[in-house]
Amino acid sequence: MTSWEYEDREYWEKVYAIPENYLVEAALTEGNDGEEEFDAKMLDASVGKVVLDVGCGDGQFTIRMAERAKEVVGVDFSRVAISEARKNLSNSGRKNLRFELINAESLHFPNEAFDLVTCRRGPVTDNKSSLQEAHRVLKRHGILMEITIGERDKENLIQIFGRGQMQGSERVIDLEKEC
């Protein structure tokens, strides 16, 4: 296993294959961690835009963005997640959305293809490579929006899965130097 859970495809395939994992984590989270407010801002930012949702998972939130956006592409490196996202898409009837099996570190899209790059608890700022790719596909004056896993989430992950996700560590990437 790698040191970063975002790079561990086998781990995420197992997580996505067990939908009740989402319910357990949500049940243990108490209080408002700002996620609903951030989601509302992401939805507002997607209006009329061409959007890339990195680490889209089962695509439920990506579909919500597609209701407002001009066009949306959801990507994830998990075959199981993309399969679920495509099922959810077929049930939604959306025509301005597609899901692709892609790793965040090697996006096949042209430079400056998207007005908005979003990531909800996914891999965009996880490392230099994925951040550089997000920057590359983002249009000049485009927007990158990401909500990351907070300390409370990390504690919940430890309780549920018996291991954490970078608990207590600081990862700051200086865009001026790195991109």
pLDDT tens for each residue of 31-68: 556 778 888 999 999 999 999 999 999 999 999 999 99
Residue 171 or 132, more confident: 132
Within a domain: 160: no
Within a domain: 9: no
Residue 141 or 51, more confident: 51
Within a domain: 117: yes
pLDDT digits (tens, 9 = 90+) for 99-131: 999 999 999 999 999 999 999 877 777 778 888
Give per-residue burial for 116-136: e unless 16+ CB within 10 Å, then b: bbbbbebbbbbbeebbbbbbe
Residue 5 clears pLDDT 50, i.e. is over it = no
Q: What is the pTM of this model?
A: 0.71
Angle at 156 between CA 59 and CA 20, to 5 degrees: 45
Within a domain: 105: yes
The tokens for 68 are 């407002």
- A 10 A CB-CB count for 45 gives 17
For the chain, list the strands marked E by DSSP.
50-54, 71-76, 97-101, 114-120, 138-147
Residue 58 belongs to domain with CATH number: 3.40.50.150
Within a domain: 174: no
Q: Which CA distances in Å does 118 have to 21, 61, 81, 95, 144?
A: 23, 11, 17, 20, 6
pLDDT digits (tens, 9 = 90+) for 17-36: 554 444 333 333 445 567 78
- Domain count of the fold of the chain: 1
The tokens for 50 are 């061409």
Q: What is the mean pLDDT of residues 150-159?
A: 60
Choice among 14-18, 62-66, 90-94 with the minimum mean pLDDT: 14-18
Residue 86 clears pLDDT 80, i.e. is over it = yes
Within a domain: 100: yes
Within a domain: 145: yes
What pLDDT is recorded for position 33? Answer: 60
The tokens for 51 are 């959007």
Within a domain: 171: no
- Positive or negative, the Cα torsion across 64, 65, 66, 72? negative
Give residue 77's domain range. 34-150
- A 10 A CB-CB count for 99 gives 25
